[in-house]
């Protein structure tokens, strides 16, 4: 009889323990209804040339908990505070046609409710306006996954993970000047605010023999751009990197504009080479070699 009572007592205690455990797990789960980013970012970026569309992607775990380990990667509560965090650094949308896409994927967000610690693993990816990956940072792959010891610590773990992201590198991609073809009708006015003026052209002009004078002029078939007289550059060999300052030029009309290089040297016949400005802009280069012929 005593043995039977002992068995019944153990069974009752076990049921109560399981019930208590289940109730405690439900209580813990009920606490995970929001995330608080504990610290404001220390960086702010300005003069960005491109906007960014921010997407936060939770990852649904196979199950929400294993005992007192809770898997929080599938929760939607990351979305709003994370977007606010990123936008506070100066990243925002500018144009739906040219904005880049910033994706923050919550790969793992585990909470050990028994030990009071959390672990967060995020992947940050930047895609250009043609959907090419141009930047990827994975905290796990780089050994930057963080564990915090506090009451669960999910807020701090997630904040620490965000602070490990190389936001400065992302900003550099967004500061890159637009390509001229992205501003087809924006004309050069001399203020340096167009992609055409920000495009650096590499000049490489050689001659044999060396020491010849190099001139250049503009020949235009469009009324927005005026043709010009010869302008002296230097003697060969001439190598330089500089922008083209052709007033009134647009990418749209650049195929109707030519650059003429002229090479002159005493005792030799002058020679000229012609360059299509559209091609120059696309290739970002003017390269020419003059093999001079002696005068008879």
What is the Cα–Cα distance from 214 to 232, expressed in whole angstroms?
A: 6
What is the Cα–Cα distance from 194 to 173, expressed in whole angstroms?
A: 18
* DSSP code at position 180: G
* DSSP code at position 246: -
What is the Cα–Cα distance from 189 to 174, expressed in whole angstroms?
A: 24
What is the Cα–Cα distance from 155 to 81, expressed in whole angstroms?
A: 11
CB 36 within 8 A of CB 155: yes
The total of other beta-carbon atoms located within 10 Å of residue 179's CB is 15
pLDDT in tens, the chain (296 residues): 556 555 555 555 444 444 444 444 454 555 668 888 989 998 999 888 889 999 999 999 988 888 778 899 999 999 999 999 999 999 999 988 778 999 999 999 998 876 778 889 999 999 988 788 989 997 642 223 344 434 468 888 899 999 989 999 999 888 876 677 777 888 888 777 677 877 889 999 999 999 999 999 999 999 999 999 999 999 999 999 888 889 999 989 999 999 999 999 999 999 999 999 999 988 989 999 999 999 97
**The pLDDT value given to residue 64:** 84
Q: Identify any residues that bridge with 285 across adjacent strands, giving them in sequence order.
A: 202
What is the Cα–Cα distance from 27 to 173, expressed in whole angstroms?
A: 45
The total of other beta-carbon atoms located within 10 Å of residue 108's CB is 17
**The pLDDT value given to residue 166:** 93
Burial of 235 (0-12, 13-18, 19+ CB in 10 A): middle
**The pLDDT value given to residue 34:** 86
Hey, which bits of the chain come out as E strands?
A: 52-58, 65-66, 69-71, 100-112, 117-127, 133-138, 146-149, 200-208, 213-220, 231-235, 238-243, 257-264, 271-276, 285-291
As given in the structure block, the two tokens for residue 231 are 């302008």
**The pLDDT value given to residue 189:** 84
């Amino acid at each position: 009889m005593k043995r039977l009572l002992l068995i019944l007592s153990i069974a009752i205690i076990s049921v109560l323990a399981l019930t208590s455990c289940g109730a405690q797990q439900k209580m813990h789960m009920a606490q995970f209804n929001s995330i608080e980013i504990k610290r404001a970012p220390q960086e702010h970026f300005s003069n960005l040339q491109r906007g960014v569309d921010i997407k936060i992607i939770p990852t649904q775990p196979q199950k929400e908990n294993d005992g007192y380990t809770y898997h929080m990667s599938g929760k939607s509560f990351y979305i709003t505070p994370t977007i606010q965090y990123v936008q506070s650094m100066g990243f925002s949308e500018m144009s739906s046609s040219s904005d880049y896409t910033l994706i923050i994927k919550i790969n793992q967000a585990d909470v050990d409710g028994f030990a009071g610690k959390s672990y967060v693993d995020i992947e940050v990816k930047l895609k250009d306006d043609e959907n090419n990956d141009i930047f990827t940072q994975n905290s796990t792959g780089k050994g930057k996954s963080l564990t915090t010891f506090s009451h669960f610590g999910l807020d701090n773990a997630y904040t620490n993970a965000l602070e490990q992201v190389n936001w400065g590198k992302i900003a550099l991609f967004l500061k890159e000047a637009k390509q001229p073809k992205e501003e087809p009708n924006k004309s050069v006015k001399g203020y340096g605010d167009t992609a055409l003026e920000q495009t650096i052209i590499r000049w490489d002009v050689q001659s044999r023999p060396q020491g010849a004078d190099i001139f250049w002029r503009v020949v235009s078939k469009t009324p927005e751009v005026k043709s010009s007289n010869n302008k002296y550059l230097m003697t060969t060999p001439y190598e330089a990197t500089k922008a083209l300052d052709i007033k009134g030029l647009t990418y749209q009309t650049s195929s109707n504009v030519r650059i003429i290089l002229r090479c002159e040297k005493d005792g030799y016949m002058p020679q000229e080479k012609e360059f299509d400005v559209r091609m120059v802009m696309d290739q970002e280069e003017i390269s020419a070699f003059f093999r001079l012929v002696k005068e008879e």
